[in-house]
Copies of this chain bind each other. A is one copy, B any other.
């Protein structure tokens, strides 16, 4: 019996030059768009630098990934423009229950957007990768740059594998993922979403994981931070804001008093633009203890907090205690956990806080890049690594992040010292950064 083969596909497969990793400007986190609109409205004249930071320098990225492949992918991402369908969807869709969250003028500007140029060099087995330019432009590189590097690393890890090994690899990864879904199924009232774009194994694998959550726990799965996946799969796009806002605000403030107030200035600006469910506080940029100690009372009126570097249970309790001190009932508040989650920590955290506070989980790396023990032959290159792309300068001034976990701090050492003097080291505890 003759087998019908798609000859055109086969020919395409062996003649193509590039399998592009980033094919849409919406293949990014939703909070980048929320922040982008705010930056576009309020900080159009700020120039920044974003830089790649490999928190595990023993992983020699430039030895694993061919620099020319990286250039080709980055160059391709620079050719991508918002499509008409995407613009219409951003304009017409409801986000967090709100219509027209994006200003038509902003969307008109975004329609012509393209990613700015990049600076790439190899040194000591690492990539030095920097994005300079207007904040509106450079900020948009964070997610695609990370997604590209992580997927190129996966591809390199799988280059030597035969079709059968790959089949086993993905079968085991799927089986593993489904075990997680089965465990999450048992948590009545769980709310969880995908935050795994930046560290994903690959775009297609993230799509599969998102589909697994949508199929397996439809009631509990509240959406994805990936705007493209949200659009394509009729899911909610989720996410609010990130550390870059207080980092840039603090860098630009220069004075000690200004740096101390940066966090709250961000919240004020955010509140002018957005509101309701979008009033989520990210408290750990310069340490949560300092944030809570110095916070104006109105911060307690906000909907919720996203503790992102303290251990979930201690971090959550700390914030709940602060709410109670400010006369707030935690049961009317929400905690969004998003730091290094794995099923066991989700289960433990869920049961710990059940009935005492509303909560939601933003599940990242361990959702979209867990291939541990899945390859037929041991393959450490498939293990996710701790790679970030952080703002390092704003208008030529150094930007700093302290975090609740000193291992996640970024910035020039002398600047970090200065910030520590300003904010204190209260409750900052070193923990291994897993992902």
Interface residues of A (CB under 8 A from B): 1, 4, 6, 8-9, 12, 23, 162, 164-165, 167-168, 170-176, 178, 211-212, 215-216, 376
Contact = CB atoms under 8 A, between A and B. Distances in A.
20 contacts: A1-B23, A4-B6, A4-B8, A4-B9, A4-B12, A6-B6, A6-B9, A164-B211, A164-B215, A165-B215, A167-B174, A168-B212, A171-B171, A171-B173, A171-B175, A171-B178, A172-B174, A172-B178, A174-B175, A216-B376
Contacts of A1: 23
Contacts of A8: 4
Contacts of A165: 215
Given A164-B215, A168-B174, A171-B174, 17 more contacts: A1-B23, A4-B6, A4-B9, A4-B12, A6-B9, A162-B215, A164-B211, A168-B175, A168-B178, A171-B173, A171-B175, A171-B178, A172-B174, A172-B175, A175-B175, A175-B176, A215-B376
What number of copies of this chain does the assembly contain?
2
A405 B215 CA distance: 45
B376 A164 contact: no
A55 B157 CA distance: 49
Contacts of A211: 164
Nearest to A168: B178
A372 to B, nearest CB: 14
B4 A164 contact: no
A247 B170 CA distance: 47
Contact of A178 (B4, B162, B215, B376): B376
A5 to B, nearest CB: 9
A12 B3 CA distance: 12
Nearest to A23: B1
A174 B178 CA distance: 13
Contacts of A4: 6, 8-9, 12
A377 B397 CA distance: 57
Nearest to A170: B171
8 tightest A-B CB contacts, nearest first: A171-B174, A175-B175, A171-B171, A172-B175, A6-B6, A164-B215, A171-B175, A168-B178
Contacts of A168: 174-175, 178, 212
A13 to B, nearest CB: 11
Nearest to A171: B174
A164 B212 contact: yes
A173 B176 CA distance: 12
A168 B417 CA distance: 51
Nearest to A208: B167
A329 to B, nearest CB: 39
A25 to B, nearest CB: 14
A8 B3 CA distance: 12
A23 B3 CA distance: 13
Contacts of A176: 175
A196 to B, nearest CB: 18
Contacts of A215: 162, 164-165, 376
A337 B178 CA distance: 35
A168 B168 CA distance: 13
A167 to B, nearest CB: 7
Nearest to A5: B6
Nearest to A174: B171
Contacts of A6: 4, 6, 9
Contacts of A172: 171, 174-175, 178
